């Protein structure tokens, strides 16, 4: 959403018109985010403060995607040791997974939070190597950016450390994985030909659409610019200056 609907604490030009257009046209839509920390309710409250009234059920996070995947593997629930925020803990609990520090089925690493301490990482490594817990990542993002512009370690950086130390490969659920796209598409109840993904990042949003064979629409209101637009082998289906152009 950052770079598409808002940047920091400011709505991007045309974002309000775009959301109004979606709602007036009765379009089915989801706001996807690789950030596993917030709950859908918290995301709703964030956008409400920016002037956008969007129901909580229209937000789909990598935490929800990860919980959905684990539920598909263990329909009767299981145990996890998770490093992440409340959104991840809540999503896992809703899917039937309880927290455990003793021989959990999975170690789940989410977006950076207070649990990403040396002790937390060491415990995760021990559970992976000693107790054979499967390593799961909510997203592959190596870094993130705070509202003040400060760069912070992302989920992918913590996963890389655990992979290197354990010799085990993580299974990652968020964008650009086609798994998140498939779950979101199923949630919307739409066929691929009636679905598109809109985003500002070539390496997550546009690649996710390409992987899932869902038309990817790039907006130039975020991190992608003319200097890095053509660095990759894949291309967006459509390029816009911002989402407001879709509401015209």
**Whether the predicted pLDDT of 112 surpasses 80:** no
**Whether the predicted pLDDT of 2 surpasses 90:** no
pLDDT at 143: 85
Strands (E), the chain: 6-7, 10-11, 31-33, 59-61, 78-83, 97-99, 106-109, 134-137, 143-145, 151-153, 171-172, 196-199, 215-219, 238-240
**Whether the predicted pLDDT of 209 surpasses 90:** yes
Q: How confident is the model at residue 9 (pLDDT cuts 50, 70, 90)?
A: confident
pLDDT at 137: 98
**Whether the predicted pLDDT of 61 surpasses 90:** yes
Top pLDDT among 149 and 125 is at 125
Considering only 102-116, 168-182, 196-210, which range has the smallest mean pLDDT?
102-116
pLDDT at 62: 97
CA angle 142, 146, 148 (to 5 degrees): 140
Q: Is 162 in contact with 183 (CB distance < 8 Å)? A: no
pLDDT at 80: 98
* SS3 (DSSP) at 185: helix
Q: Taking residues 35-58, what's their average pLDDT?
A: 96
CA angle 245, 182, 20 (to 5 degrees): 30
**Whether the predicted pLDDT of 81 surpasses 80:** yes
Q: Is 95 in contact with 71 (CB distance < 8 Å)? A: yes
Q: Taking residues 181-190, what's their average pLDDT?
A: 95
Q: Is 155 in contact with 138 (CB distance < 8 Å)? A: yes
Considering only 46-50, 154-158, 177-181, 224-228, which range has the smallest mean pLDDT?
224-228
Q: What is the mean pLDDT of the chain?
A: 94
Other beta carbons within 10 Å of 94: 14
pLDDT at 217: 97
Report pTM.
Answer: 0.93
User: Nearest Cα to 130, choosing from 98, 108, 159, 107?
Assistant: 107
User: Which residues, 6 or more positions from 245, have their beta carbon under 8 angstroms from its beta carbon?
Assistant: 14
Q: Is 124 in contact with 81 (CB distance < 8 Å)? A: yes
pLDDT at 95: 98
**What is the token pair recorded at 171?**
């299974």
**Whether the predicted pLDDT of 144 surpasses 90:** no
pLDDT at 130: 97
Q: Is 29 in contact with 133 (CB distance < 8 Å)? A: no
pLDDT at 25: 95
Q: Is 1 in contact with 9 (CB distance < 8 Å)? A: no
């Amino acid at each position: 959403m950052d770079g598409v609907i808002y940047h920091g604490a400011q709505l991007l030009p045309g974002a309000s018109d775009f959301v109004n257009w979606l709602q007036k046209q009765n379009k089915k839509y989801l706001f996807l985010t690789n950030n596993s920390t917030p709950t859908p309710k918290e995301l709703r409250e964030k956008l409400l403060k920016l002037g956008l009234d969007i129901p909580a059920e229209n937000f789909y996070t990598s935490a929800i995607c990860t919980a959905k995947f684990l539920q598909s593997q263990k329909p009767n629930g299981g145990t996890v040791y998770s490093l992440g925020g409340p959104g991840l803990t809540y999503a896992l609990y809703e899917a039937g997974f309880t927290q455990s520090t003793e021989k959990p089925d999975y170690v789940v690493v989410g977006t950076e939070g207070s649990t990403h301490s040396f002790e937390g990482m060491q415990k995760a490594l021990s559970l992976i190597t000693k107790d054979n817990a499967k390593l799961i990542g909510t997203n592959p993002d190596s870094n993130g950016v705070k509202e003040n512009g400060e760069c912070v370690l992302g989920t992918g950086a913590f996963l890389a450390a655990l992979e290197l130390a354990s010799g085990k490969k993580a299974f990652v659920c968020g964008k650009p994985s086609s798994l998140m796209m498939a779950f979101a598409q199923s949630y919307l109840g739409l066929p691929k030909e009636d679905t598109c993904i809109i985003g500002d990042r070539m390496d997550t949003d546009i690649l996710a659409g390409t992987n899932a064979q869902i038309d990817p629409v790039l907006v130039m209101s975020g991190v992608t610019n003319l200097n890095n637009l053509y660095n990759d082998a894949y291309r967006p289906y459509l390029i816009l200056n911002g989402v407001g152009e879709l509401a015209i």
